[in-house]
């Protein structure tokens, strides 16, 4: 049987973070009567941090955080139409066309000839599965796993479920915090494919990077050659 290669989804296969940045700018503009951009950003970040534990990652939690932050910043002065507008931004994000990153289909075809591809993505189950379906990439994956968090135990559970030895598993993704460090921690291998933007919650602790080495490539299309080498 072919070895298993884990692949991340958001900002590894398709554009994701850019959509959030666009809506965050709308939120800053909406908050202008009550707060400057830095204050609005800090308040939204604090609300998101508190809500992730309750609602997980994804667009729905992001929208809820914006609504709660808007009410707090405005001291409940914000009108219902504006709050409905925030919800509408979320609907736009959920319906936004999938924008594949450069060379992704070709890279997956090459990788799929030498590995069983296991998509591992975190976030809202329905949203993530919907993106996989709309991406046109679903048939390239051996299995798809949507998880609430990407930590060492989650990876252990996923690999155990599919009978994969961590020592024979490699993960590919754009997040050092979610796709690299947890896999290395359980004895696996990981390849970092940086994206142009990184969500603040995906920035790794510098102390965790001390003495840790892993390959870094410019794009997913570089991974087949790296693995072959």
| Bridge partner list, 211 | none
Contact between 182 and 155 under an 8 Å Cβ cutoff? The reply is yes
Judged against a pLDDT cut of 90, whether residue 206 lies above it is answered with: no
Mean pLDDT, rounded, of the chain = 95
Structure tokens of 46? Answer: 């604090």
Q: How far apart are CA 54 and CA 172, in angstroms?
A: 28
Query: How would you class 56 by CB atoms within 10 Å of its CB: exposed for 0-12, middle for 13-18, buried for 19 or more?
Result: middle
List, for residues 179-192, the tens digit of each pLDDT value. Answer: 999 999 999 999 99
Judged against a pLDDT cut of 90, whether residue 168 lies above it is answered with: yes
Using 50, 70 and 90 to split pLDDT, how confident is the model at 198? confident
Using 50, 70 and 90 to split pLDDT, how confident is the model at 209? confident
Q: How far apart are CA 26 and CA 14, in angstroms?
A: 22
Contact between 21 and 134 under an 8 Å Cβ cutoff? The reply is no
Largest Cα span, the chain = 61
Residues 6 or more apart in contact with residue 168 via CB below 8 angstroms: 3, 4
37-55 and 17-30 helices, crossing angle to 10°: 130
Using 50, 70 and 90 to split pLDDT, how confident is the model at 101? very high
User: Could you tell me how far CA 129 lies from the centroid of its own chain?
Assistant: 13
User: Could you tell me how far CA 24 lies from the centroid of its own chain?
Assistant: 17
- Tell me what pLDDT residue 38 has: 96
Structure tokens of 18? Answer: 């850019």
CATH T-level topology, domain 4-15+98-228: Rossmann fold (3.40.50)
- Tell me what pLDDT residue 155 has: 98
List, for residues 4-35, the tens digit of each pLDDT value. Answer: 999 999 999 999 999 999 999 999 999 999 99
| Bridge partner list, 121 | 146
* Domains in the chain: boundaries: 4-15+98-228, 17-95
- Tell me what pLDDT residue 138 has: 97
Q: How far apart are CA 207 and CA 210, in angstroms?
A: 5
Contact between 111 and 6 under an 8 Å Cβ cutoff? The reply is no
Judged against a pLDDT cut of 90, whether residue 205 lies above it is answered with: no
Contact between 176 and 157 under an 8 Å Cβ cutoff? The reply is no
In the CATH scheme, what is the code of domain 17-95?
Answer: 1.10.150.240
Global pTM value: 0.91
Judged against a pLDDT cut of 90, whether residue 211 lies above it is answered with: no
Using 50, 70 and 90 to split pLDDT, how confident is the model at 200? confident
Closest among 197, 37, 12 to 99, alpha carbons compared: 12
Judged against a pLDDT cut of 90, whether residue 55 lies above it is answered with: no
Residues 6 or more apart in contact with residue 211 via CB below 8 angstroms: none
- Tell me what pLDDT residue 102 has: 94
Residues 6 or more apart in contact with residue 68 via CB below 8 angstroms: 47, 51
List, for residues 133-167, the tens digit of each pLDDT value. Answer: 999 999 999 999 999 999 999 999 999 999 999 99
Matching fold, domains 4-15+98-228 and 17-95: no
């Amino acid at each position: 049987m072919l070895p298993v290669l884990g692949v991340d989804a958001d900002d590894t296969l398709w554009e994701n973070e850019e959509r959030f940045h666009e809506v965050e700018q709308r939120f800053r503009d909406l908050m202008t009567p009550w707060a400057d951009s830095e204050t609005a950003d800090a308040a939204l970040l604090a609300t998101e941090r508190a809500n992730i534990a309750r609602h997980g990652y994804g667009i729905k939690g992001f929208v809820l955080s914006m609504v709660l932050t808007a009410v707090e910043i405005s001291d409940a002065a914000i009108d219902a139409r504006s709050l409905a507008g925030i919800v509408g931004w979320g609907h736009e994000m959920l319906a936004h066309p999938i924008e594949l990153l450069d060379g992704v289909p070709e890279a997956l075809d090459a990788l799929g000839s030498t590995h069983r591809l296991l998509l591992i993505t975190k976030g809202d189950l329905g949203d993530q599965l919907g993106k996989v379906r709309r991406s046109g990439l679903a048939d390239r994956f051996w299995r798809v796993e949507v998880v609430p968090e990407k930590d060492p135990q989650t990876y252990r559970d996923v690999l155990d479920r599919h009978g994969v030895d961590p020592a024979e598993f490699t993960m590919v993704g754009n997040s050092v915090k979610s796709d690299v460090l947890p896999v290395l921690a359980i004895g696996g291998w990981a390849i970092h494919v940086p994206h142009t933007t990184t969500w603040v919650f995906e920035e790794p602790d510098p102390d965790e990077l001390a003495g840790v080495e892993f390959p870094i490539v410019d794009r997913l299309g570089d991974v087949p050659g790296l693995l072959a080498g």
